[in-house]
Structure 1
C-alpha cells in the first residue's frame, strides 16, 4: 500500500461499442486467448506495505546499519514505492540498496560488515529468510485480502476453459503461502502453472518467467493475457510477447504503461471492470485514469 491518503478517484473510461471488425480480426482474436496469467504482489493482493513493514522488522531484528550510522536501516513508504518500481524481487532490492549505501554491519556477522561476496550473500539470505517468515505471519493473521475482482476473473477463466497461472518475482515459499491464504487451497491447487523468483535466473522486467510459463502451459505467448500492476511487470509480459492489462496500485498509478491493453484501478466485482468475454473479444481499449472513447479497437491493435 502507498502513503496514507488515497489518490483521487479514477474516472471510468467511457466504453463505446465499436463497429464490427473484419472477420479475420474477430476469428483470430476469439480463438487466441488460452491462458490468463497473474502477478501476485500488487495484483492478487495489495501487499506493498506488508512487505515494507516486514523488511523493516528484519532490519531491526538484526541491527542492520549502513555507513556506520547509529540507526537501523528503515525504508519509508515514499522510498519503498520508488524502490519496488525500480528493482524486481526482494533479494535484488537489498543488493541494490546496500551497493549504493554501503554493505551493512549486522548481528548476522556479529556486528561487522561483510568481508567478501560469500558473506554478503549470507547477510542477504538471512535477512530475506527472516523477512519471509515475518511476512507470512502477517498474511496468516488475515491482514491481506484479494484485490477486487481477482477471484471472480479467475473463476470466469476456469469456467471458460482457459488455463491459469501465477508468476511472481518473490520467493517461492512466500508466494505459495500467500496464495494458499488469499486464494484458498482449492484455487491454488487448481493453478495450471505457478512460478516464483526461485524458478528463474533473471527477475522482471526480464521476460524469462513469462516465457517459461507459456512453455509449461503449452500455449504460445500471444495466446496469453497477463495481469500486472507496474511498468516492470508490463515490460516482462510484453517482452515475452504476451498481451497485458494493468490493475495499478496507488504507488504505480502515475506510470505511463505504454503497450498495455487496458489500464484500470482494479478488475471490479459487480459490476465487473474486466471480464473474460471482453478479453477473448479484445474489443476494448481502456485507461480509466482519463476520459476517452474507443470507436474501433481494430485500429489500435492493427487489424485494419
Structure 2
C-alpha cells in the first residue's frame, strides 16, 4: 500500500536542534516577581542576558547588564537539592525530531498505514504526553487507518502493538549511539551524584526506551545510581503531576526540595503542579513555548567553556535568592 502524508492545519514550530550546541538563545531567569539589579549579588553582573517582567500585562523583554554566574563561588551558601529530577526526551537527549518521530514513521510504513508525521505536525503532537496517547489523539482527529480494528478495545491493542514496535526501533537508534547526550547533562549528573543528591529520570516515554537512553548514553556506572520513573508507571501523564509526586514519594524527599529539569511547557506544568522548582532547558521543538512560570530558562545546561548552570545554581534557585 502506497504511503501518503497526512497533515493537520497546525501552526509551524521551529525544528532547529540544540543537540550539539548551546548557542541557540541567551539564558533567561524568571521569578514570581519583578527582578531588579538590586535584588541580585554583585558577582552576577558580568554580561548581557534578558529578564522578563511577570507583573506586566504582557511579557516584556528587558535588556539588562548581568549574566548568571554558574560557579560555586557565586552561590557558595546555596543549599543543595535533595533530588534532581530530569525529563528524558529533549532534556537528556534531543530525541524527538530525529529519534521518536522517525521511529513512529518507520512503524507506520512497516504496517502500511499510509501515515507520515512531518516535522511541524509532530511538534504540535508533542503537546500530548505519551506516544500511545499521541497516536490515539491523531487517529481520532484525522480518521483511523483502514487496517485498524473497529472496536475500542481492539484499537487499544492495535495502538499498543504500534508503540511496542516504535520503541524497538527507537532503542536501536540509542543503542547504536546515533543520538548524543545534550551538552552538560553528564556533568550535572556527576556533580549531583558526587554530592549525594538523588537523581531520577521522570518521563512519559516507554520505560525500556528511557532505560536505554540512561544505560547506553550515561553508562552503566551512572545508570545503577539513577532511578527511572517512566511510561505507564502512573495512570495520568504530564502535564499531570503524578510522575513527579511518585518520584518524590519513592525517593523519600519533600517536593519542595526537588529541582526538576524540563524542556517543555507540559513538563513545566507537571513540575509546578507537584510544587517543585523547575529549570527549563529549551530543546529543538520547545524554543517558542511559554515558560513564564519557570524558575529559570536556558538554551541548555552546557559544558565549560559554554556552561550555562551547575549544581550550585540549582541550589541557589531552590532558595529563591533571585526573587524580590
Matches for 1:164-175 after TM superposition, within 5 Å: 164-175=199-210
Cα distance in 2, alignment partners of residues 274 and 166 from structure 1 = 19
Aligned residue for 2:85? 37
The answer to whether residue 260 in structure 2 is matched with residue 219 in structure 1 is no
Alignment of 1:190-209 (within 5 A): 190-191=225-226, 193-209=227-243
TM-score (norm 2): 0.77
Q: CA deviation at 1:276?
A: 0.9
Instruction: Name 2:322's counterpart in structure 1.
Output: 297
Q: In the alignment, does 2:155 pair up with 1:120? A: yes
Q: Does the alignment pair 1:56 with 2:97? A: no
What's the offset of the Cα at 1:105? 2.2
- TM-score, length-scaled by structure 1: 0.81
Which of 11, 27, 48 does residue 26 from structure 2 map onto? 11
- SS of the equivalent of 2:214 reads helix
User: What are the superposed Cα offsets for residues 249-293 of structure 1, whole Å, 9 maximum, x if unpaired?
Assistant: 1211111212111110100100321111112122899xxxxxxxx
- Are the aligned partners of 1:89 and 1:169 in contact in 2 as well (CA < 8 Å)? yes
Distance (Å, rounded) in 1 between the aligned partners of 2:309 and 2:139: 40
Q: What does residue 94 of structure 2 align with?
A: 46
Distance 1:174 1:62 in 2: 21
Matches within 5 A, 1:94-243: 94-106=135-147, 113-191=148-226, 193-243=227-277
Counterpart of 1:244 in structure 2 is 278
Contact 1:18/1:283, CA 8 A, preserved across alignment? no
Question: How far apart, CA to CA, are the structure 2 residues paired with 1:61 and 1:179?
Answer: 28
What is the DSSP-based 3-state SS (H/G/I as helix, E as strand, rest coil) of the residue aligned with 2:323? helix
Q: Kindly tell me the number of residue pairs found equivalent between the two proteins.
A: 267
Structure 1: state its 5+ residue gaps. 21-28, 65-71, 107-112, 286-295, 300-304
Say yes or no: does 1:90 pair with 2:131. yes
Cα distance in 1 for partners of 2:254, 2:80 equals: 9
Which range moved further: 51-60 or 270-279?
270-279
- The two structures, once aligned, show a CA RMSD in angstroms of 2.6
Deviations 1:195-216 (A, max 9, x none): 0012110010000000000001
Tell me, yes or no, if the aligned pair for 2:78 and 2:312 is still in contact at 8 Å.
no
Deviates more, 1:115-124 or 1:11-20: 11-20
Q: 1:37 aligns to what SS in structure 2?
A: strand
Change (3 A) 1:32 1:266: closer
Q: Which runs of 5+ in 2 are unaligned?
A: 1-12, 30-35, 43-76
Give 1:144 shift: 0.9
1:205-239 deviation per Cα after TM superposition (whole angstroms, max 9, x unaligned) = 00000000000111110100000000010000000
Is the contact between residue 211 and residue 221 of structure 1 (CA under 8 Å) also seen in structure 2?
yes
Cα distance, 1:40 vs. partner?
0.4
State the 1:9 CA deviation: 3.5
